[in-house]
């Protein structure tokens, strides 16, 4: 589980946060940050968040696993025991302390102890391979040159990622990746070691994508460009080619055992120390040390290996991007806790359409009974017994602004005057935004009404209610707009707009309005057809209708202020719906534009 890896990060005194990537980068990125920056917050100042490291992988778990490893290395460095000189036991027996250098050990994390050890050994071998100098390699062909075996890594970019076999280090294959983009100042390189070369290609692509992501992060003006951690081997000479399909299709059955055998054969032994609990995720530190049991093979490219010439920790410090002057993108401080949106993500997943239309029932109007077909044209409520009704059939054509004027003039917070709306203005607003504008023939005996606003399946899942306060010729109260009859039908006149405004997020602003439009979603009206996806269509229908109201109001010279800030349960009870089958979704405040504010 991802949470196991995340807990391993936090238990080491750090925090992980998701890094938004450009859409053309097909990967997942996480950043390591101080524990103090773990909590998501709405920071209107867009304050910088220090980044300690960056991880890129195919999915979130893979990126978190990398952060677990880098957090452990940082913790070792900060503890002052960069070499673990006196505390790192040898899994195969004691080794002399004089064989250890001052660099920190490689760290591996995995679902098992063996996986963690293998990852640590691969990292140490990759470091040595990069150190030894890379001049030639075998180009890997037969795969998408922009990506790895799991899919495209970069989409629609002007460049490519080339992968090479770079020989062996201590008997373990090395794979390098070079990212070349025409608009990139220099190619980027990464090298990994892996017994399974196909997986090595994927890991190399992810590693070079990490370098690319780091280059995209904001940088302080007074800092130098970060050095390449893998060396600069973008001029590698291709001495041959090999097809990706010829690489071993699966890893060795006993990967850790095979890895240890190859190390012994090439004169190395692994010293391992367990750093983390095994009940969630294994975390180990590992160093490779020479052994006299055998001599290095003559064809191995791992020797000679240039060792650090100093005992300081900084020589092999992992890329601490905060020290290099990189900072988080601004949007990182405007995110949220995952639990805050978990239900919404579950809904979105459940409302997806899969295998074309296979998850929705097939609806053939021609096969429906005549009464059922007639119901499709009755997408409205009817408060026919209301004690007050007002016709909404204005005479004549209204004087409307042009579309260009409407678009340029529309402002939600434009100043409202304290005057009234006219009944004619309200009638034009309702009929032009949601009134019936025509009919369509469905079958041989059914004419379905068409309206001014689009709706999924022509089912019109939104209803309009209007809370009137100051409209000439209309007494205050809550009314339903019947789109077929073009009537305002009284629903409730016991509450004033000022009272209702108390249950909005902008009480004073709502109190300025002459009327309030209340949008109610009727879920049953279309979920019989669209099932879970119907919830999406109800929200979309409501959005279409709200935009029609805003555009029409602006064209009439009025102010329309959409508002999502309201207490749902209060408004549901006020309108008279249960909040489940039918629910208030949105509000729009209406008012006359303040005199002299026409240019606003």
Where residue 421 falls among pLDDT bands split at 50, 70, 90? very high
Does residue 466 register a pLDDT over 80? yes
Average pLDDT over residues 237-243: 92
Lowest mean pLDDT: which of 29-38, 87-96, 205-214, 260-269?
87-96
The answer, yes or no, to whether residue 145 has pLDDT greater than 60, is no
| 227 exposure class (CB count in 10 Å sphere: 0-12, 13-18, 19+) | exposed
**Of 40-54, 221-235, 460-474, which gets the smallest average pLDDT?**
221-235
Instruction: Answer whether residue 307 shows pLDDT above 50.
Output: no
Min mean pLDDT across 8-12, 211-215, 287-291, 429-433 is at 287-291
Q: What is the pLDDT of residues 484-532, one digit of tens each?
A: 889 999 999 999 999 999 999 999 999 999 999 999 999 998 888 888 8
Strands 471-472 and 421-422, bridge-based pairing: parallel
Q: Is the CB of residue 178 less than 8 Å from the CB of residue 233? A: yes
Dihedral sign (CA 237, 241, 245, 249): negative
pLDDT (tens digit per residue) in 397-413 = 888 999 999 999 999 99
**43 to each of 33, 46, 63, 146, 311, how far by Cα in Å?**
16, 5, 25, 37, 42
Q: What is the structure's pLDDT at 94?
A: 37
Q: Residue 397: what are its φ and ψ, rounded to 5°? A: -100, 130
Pick the closest to residue 167 from 236, 265, 119 (CA basis).
236
Report how far residue 235's alpha carbon sits from residue 164's, in angstroms, rounded to the nearest whole number: 12
Give the model's pLDDT for residue 93. 37
Token pair, residue 517, equals 């439009």
Radius of gyration over every alpha carbon of the chain, rounded to an integer in angstroms: 33
pLDDT at 423 over 70: yes
pLDDT at 356: 58
**What pLDDT, in 10s, does the model give residues 71-85?**
998 888 877 654 444
Asked if 491 and 575 touch (Cβ cutoff 8 Å), the reply is yes
* Residue whose pair of structure tokens reads 């959005």 in the numeric block: 543
In this predicted structure, the answer to whether residue 291 has a pLDDT above a threshold of 90 is no
| Alpha-helix residue ranges (DSSP H) falling in 79-134 | 113-131
Lowest mean pLDDT segment, chosen from 119-133, 163-177, 358-372, 573-587: 358-372
Band of the pLDDT at 597, cuts 50, 70, 90? Answer: low
User: Residue 566: which of 481, 465, 482 has the closest Cα?
Assistant: 465
What is the pLDDT, as a whole number, of residue 87? 40
Mean local confidence (pLDDT), 166-183? 92
How do strand 389-391 and strand 147-148 relate by DSSP bridges?
unpaired
> Is 289 in a helix, a strand, or coil?
strand
What pLDDT sits at residue 148?
44
Contact 600, 415 (CB under 8 A): yes
90 contact partners, CB below 8 Å, separation of at least 6? 269, 271, 272, 289
Condensed to tens digits (0 to 9), the pLDDT of residues 533-587 reads 899 999 999 999 999 999 999 999 999 999 999 999 999 999 999 999 999 999 9
Pairing state of beta strands 282-290 and 151-152? unpaired
- DSSP-based three-state secondary structure for 216: helix
Phi, psi of 508, rounded to the nearest 5 degrees: -65, -40
How crowded is residue 23: how many other Cβ atoms within 10 Å of its Cβ? 8
The predicted structure's pLDDT at residue 218: 78
From 437, 448, 438, 430, select the one nearest 393 (Cα to Cα).
Answer: 430
Most trustworthy range by pLDDT among 134-148, 177-191, 464-478: 464-478
Taking the C-alpha atoms of residue 425 and residue 436, their distance in angstroms, rounded to an integer, is: 17
User: 158 — phi, psi (to 5°)?
Assistant: -95, 80
Find, among 307, 304, 293, the residue nearest to 262 by Cα. Answer: 293
The confidence score (pLDDT) of residue 531 equals 87
Long-range contacts of 529-533 (CB under 8 A, 24+ apart): 529/360, 529/361, 529/363, 529/457, 529/459, 530/360, 530/456, 530/457, 531/359, 531/360, 531/361, 532/347, 532/350, 532/351, 533/351, 533/352, 533/353, 533/359, 533/360
Structure confidence at residue 310 as a pLDDT band (50, 70, 90):
very low
Alpha-carbon distances, residue 124 vs 58, 102, 192, 424, 532 (angstroms): 22, 14, 9, 79, 50
Q: State the pLDDT at residue 103.
A: 65
């Amino acid at each position: 589980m991802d949470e196991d890896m995340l807990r391993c990060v936090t238990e080491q005194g750090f925090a992980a946060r998701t890094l938004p990537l450009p859409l053309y980068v097909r990967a997942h990125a996480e950043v390591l940050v101080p524990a103090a920056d773990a909590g998501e917050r709405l920071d209107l100042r867009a304050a910088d968040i220090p980044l300690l490291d960056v991880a890129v992988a195919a999915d979130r778990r893979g990126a978190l696993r990398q952060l677990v490893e880098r957090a452990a290395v940082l913790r070792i460095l900060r503890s002052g025991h960069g070499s673990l000189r006196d505390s790192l036991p040898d899994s195969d027996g004691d080794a002399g302390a004089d064989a250890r250098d001052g660099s920190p050990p490689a760290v591996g994390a995995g679902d098992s102890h063996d996986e963690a050890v293998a990852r640590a050994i691969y990292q140490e071998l990759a470091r040595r391979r990069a150190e030894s100098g890379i001049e030639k390699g075998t180009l890997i062909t037969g795969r998408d040159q922009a990506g790895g075996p799991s899919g495209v890594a970069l989409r629609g970019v002007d460049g490519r990622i080339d992968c090479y076999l770079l020989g062996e280090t201590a008997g373990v294959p090395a794979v390098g990746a070079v990212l070349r983009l025409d608009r990139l100042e220099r190619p980027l390189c990464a090298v990994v070691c892996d017994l399974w070369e196909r997986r090595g290609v994927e890991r190399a692509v992810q590693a070079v994508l990490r370098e690319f992501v780091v280059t995209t992060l904001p940088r302080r003006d007074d800092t130098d460009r970060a050095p390449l951690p893998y060396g600069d081997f973008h001029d590698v000479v291709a001495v041959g080619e090999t097809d990706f399909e010829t690489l071993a299709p699966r890893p060795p059955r006993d990967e850790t055992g095979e890895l240890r055998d190859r190390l012994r054969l090439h004169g190395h032994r692994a010293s391992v120390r367990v750093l983390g609990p095994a009940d969630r995720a294994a975390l180990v530190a590992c160093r490779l040390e020479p052994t006299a049991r055998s001599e290095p093979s003559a064809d191995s490219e791992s020797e000679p290996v240039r060792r650090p010439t100093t005992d300081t920790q900084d020589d092999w410090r992992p890329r601490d991007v905060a020290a290099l002057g990189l900072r988080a993108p601004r949007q990182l401080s405007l995110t949220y806790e995952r639990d805050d949106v978990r239900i919404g993500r579950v809904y979105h997943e459940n409302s997806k359409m899969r295998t074309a239309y296979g998850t929705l029932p097939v609806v053939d109007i021609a096969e429906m009974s005549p009464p059922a077909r007639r119901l499709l044209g009755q997408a409205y409520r009817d408060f026919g017994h209301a004690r007050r009704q007002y016709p909404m059939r204005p005479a004549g054509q209204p004087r409307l602004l042009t579309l260009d004027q409407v678009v340029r003039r529309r402002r939600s917070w434009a100043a409202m005057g304290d005057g009234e709306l006219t009944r004619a203005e309200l009638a034009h607003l309702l009929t032009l935004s949601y009134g019936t504008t025509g009919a369509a023939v469905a079958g041989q005996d059914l004419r379905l009404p068409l309206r001014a606003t689009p709706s999924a399946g022509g089912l019109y899942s939104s209803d309009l209610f209007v809370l009137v306060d100051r409209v000439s010729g209309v007494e205050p109260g809550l009314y339903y707009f019947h789109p077929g009859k073009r009537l305002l039908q009284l629903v409730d006149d016991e509450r004033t707009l000022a009272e209702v405004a108390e249950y909005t997020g902008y009480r004073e602003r709502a109190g300025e309005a002459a009327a309030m439009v209340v949008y109610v979603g009727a879920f049953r009206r279309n979920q019989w057809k669209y099932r879970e996806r119907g919830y999406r269509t109800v929200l979309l229908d409501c959005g279409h209708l709200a935009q029609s109201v805003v555009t029409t109001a602006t064209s009439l010279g009025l102010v329309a202020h959409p508002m999502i800030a309201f207490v749902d349960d209060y408004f549901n009870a006020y309108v008279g719906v249960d909040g489940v089958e039918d629910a208030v979704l949105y509000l729009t405040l209406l008012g006359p534009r303040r005199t002299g504010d026409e240019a606003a």
